[in-house]
Chain A
Amino acid sequence: MSPTSPLTSTPTTTDVLVLGADLAGAGPANLLIRDGVFADPADARPDAVRVDAYGLVALPGLVDLHTHLREPGREDAETVTTGTAAAARGGYTAVLAMANTSPVTDTAEAAEHLLDVGRATGTAQVVPIGAVSKGLAGEELAELGLMARSPAQTRVFSDDGRCVADARLMRRALEYVRAFDGVIAQHAQDPRLAGPDACCDEGPVSGRLGLPGWPAVAEAGIVARDVGLAELTRSRLHVCHVSTAETVDVLRWAKARGIAVTAEVTPHHLLLTVDELLGYDPTFKVNPPLRSAEDVAAVREALTDGTIDVVATDHAPHARHDKEHAFVDAAPGMLGLETALAVVVETMVRPGTLGWREVATRMSSVPAHIARLGGQGRPLAVGEPANLTLVDPTRRATVDRAASVSLSRNNPWHGRDLPDPVVATWWAGRATYGR
């Protein structure tokens, strides 16, 4: 398909017949998109738009559990419009929008507002994440129940960026959300142990560069505490952006014990190491920080064996001026939506570690299930919502940050040769990206 593909202008009332795509590793088949759902290909109308997908892989639309859309409050960095355009370009049909906006998504009204903006301007489903605590202050519970019962139907709650450090508050949050099948998504970072300026994996690199260290145990220690609280409360815990081998060990233990914990890893923690910081380039400042090669190997292994359940982007767009400070003062975070699948292909699929079925699981169906999104992450089957990502498993390209559709340019992959897999995306039968 060319960049001038008619897909993006295809009206949803027209049949789209996708021919010969490999259905997430299950072998080639045809798919018919009609009225927002998959219909029987045998019923395709003669005037159906036909898409030659031989040699391509069909995945259920990807679901990102961890996106920063920056709207409201920092529309100079990203908006719902640009963020979901980046999502569609990356093969996503749904994104869960983190609560640390300005104002914070800590009320039903704020969640509903974001839902409305998403419906009006988004090219992917926008699902608000609710804050755990009022104003992310870590002191009092936000209106978790009201957000859950609002039209936004919030099920994921997180103070991301600010660990819920108070053990008692964390316990109450876990207990409380059990009433509506919610999940607490924790950014695990012991604030006292890591320190306020922590920005570099604590080890030889932080010691040499003189950057404040962020020890692995500051993550694993909180996760150990939280899985204990999840067991105590019989509630669901989700661990955001796992970055260390120590955390993987704790998760493995907790899962073996039957505790209801899930976990995510970001693309950048699957590929980049702390050595990227040697030039003090704030593009590579992220929280949690890039870790050692041993940690990278551990999170890859954990994603392979299911100890880590999903890949989530932690897409964190920043205006240029927020990155143009000394490393320790620069805003943490990097773009992720457009390149996540590329990195997963590079690190997990090409080496033969994960098959396409597992990619569909870890990037679509399981994230949708964790967030309790009924209409996402579904099988590519007749009657299911037509959320579809077409993938070319062989194509590669040099990443160019200028080509991003995100408003921001903090792209850690700029200039790097990576897979360029996403060919087209449909969300609820609507073509949202095509090249």
Chain B
Amino acid sequence: MRHLLSAADLDAAETTGILDLAEEMALVQGRPVKKLPALRGRTVVNLFFEDSTRTRSSFELAGKWLSADTINISAKGSSVSKGESLRDTVLTVASMGVDALVIRHMASGAPLQAARWFAELGLGVHVVNAGDGTHEHPTQALLDAFTLRRHFRASQPDAGRDDHQPFAGRRIAVVGDITHSRVARSNVELLTTLGAGVVLVAPPTLLPAGVDTWPVEVRDDLDRVLGEVDAVMMLRVQRERMSGGYFPTPREYTVGYGLTRARLGLLRPGTAICHPGPMNRGLEISADAADSAGSLILDQVAAGVSVRMSVLYLLLGGADESGAVR
């Protein structure tokens, strides 16, 4: 794996490999001293063109726990605001001798473009997409899969279900603003690769063009979906969309598509509740749902560090030739 740009680039075996390694990395999280020497001497730069708290700190912790030198650059309001091109900005950072660039950008495709420019110049920098516009957020999908896999293995050990294929036959609902959600796109790619069925639930205004060509089921009645799925993934309603005419009022959105207290009763026992955060409590998810027994939201946050450790480790060659973790 040279870069991690898109969940679509991962096949089932690669994905499972990342998740399996993340399980090992998760053990580090439980230790008093959270440090592996694997990436000592390697440098990882978090180049964030867009504000982020959890993703950036998650990548930062992941790098630090692997003993990489990790720095954060907020490109927002720096050279970019002085008119520098994206190419010049990423090449400037990459030319400092860094090993990996973790890039978040408000524009779709920016990390992929950076990887192409590096390739053209023969720079061996690894690129991780930490969220690009409304395109993809592959490590979010990986941490969602990690969390769900654990949940499925632990709480729903159906008779006859193959533990090595925990997603087979599962149905997962992704609810809300699909159009603008990079989380949704990456999850559609990854969850279907792993064998799960994905049901997108949204008002028609928040469904992307061409969604009928995606390998998913599309529904608009959340109440009828909730009792049919093994997990429900609520998407954040971005405040700036509320004046965009995508739905009449926040109240109407909540009535139609919020995971309200009343809707909790429609879920089958053991149904997982996920949310990529930050949550708008009372809008797309009620406090009752967010804090319920089925909620995996904090597990997702914890999984973020493990999964990103796994990704950085695999990209930067932390494994020896046998594939074993050093």
Contacts and interface: CB of A to CB of B under 8 A. Distances in A.
Contact of B209 (A206, A279, A281, A329): A206
A291 to B, nearest CB: 13
Contacts of A326: 86, 105-110, 113, 133
Given A325-B85, A326-B86, A204 B209 contact: yes
Contacts of B85: 321, 324-325
A313 B39 CA distance: 53
B135 interface: yes
Nearest to A197: B107
| Residue of A202, A203, A325 contacting most chain B CB atoms (<10 Å) | A325
Interface in B76-92: 85-88
Interface string B58-98: 00000000000000000000000000011110000000000
A413 interface: no
A206 B210 contact: yes
Given A280-B109, A327-B108, A210 B133 contact: yes
A324 B208 contact: no
Contacts of A210: 108-109, 132-136, 182, 185, 208
Interface in B201-239: 208-211, 213-214
B86 A205 contact: no
A207 B136 CA distance: 11
B241 interface: no
A327 B210 contact: no
Contacts of A215: 209
Size category of the A interface is 20 to 34
A209 interface: yes
B162 to A, nearest CB: 31
A205 B135 CA distance: 11
B116 interface: yes
Contacts of A324: 85-88
Nearest to A202: B209
Residues of B in contact with A, size category: 20 to 34
Contacts of B185: 208, 210
Interface in A255-290: 279-282
B174 to A, nearest CB: 14
Contacts of A202: 209
A279 B210 contact: no
B279 interface: no
B112 interface: yes
A213 interface: yes
A298 B184 CA distance: 34
Interface string B102-125: 000111111011001000000000
Contact of A280 (B108, B134, B208, B213): B108
A354 interface: no
A324 B211 CA distance: 30
A328 interface: yes
A215 B185 CA distance: 21
A44 interface: no
B210 A329 contact: no
A207 B107 contact: no
A327 B106 CA distance: 11
Contact of A207 (B109, B112, B209): B209
Contact of A328 (B108, B136, B182, B211): B108
A204 B108 contact: no
Nearest to B180: A210
B112 A329 contact: no
A213 B208 CA distance: 9
Contacts of B106: 326
Nearest to A195: B244
A211 interface: yes
B107 A205 contact: no
Nearest to A215: B209
Residue from A205, A208, A282, A328 whose CB has the most chain B CB atoms within 10 Å: A208
Contacts of A204: 209-210, 213
Contacts of B136: 210
Given A209-B108, A327-B107, A328-B133, A321 B209 contact: no
Given A210-B182, A325-B107, A326-B113, 8 more contacts: A207-B214, A210-B208, A211-B133, A281-B116, A324-B85, A325-B86, A326-B133, A327-B113
20 contacts: A203-B209, A204-B213, A206-B208, A207-B209, A209-B108, A210-B132, A211-B108, A211-B133, A211-B135, A279-B112, A280-B108, A281-B116, A282-B113, A321-B85, A324-B86, A325-B86, A325-B87, A327-B108, A327-B113, A329-B107
Interface of A: 202-211, 213, 215, 279-282, 321, 324-329
Interface of B: 85-88, 105-110, 112-113, 116, 132-136, 179, 182, 185, 208-211, 213-214
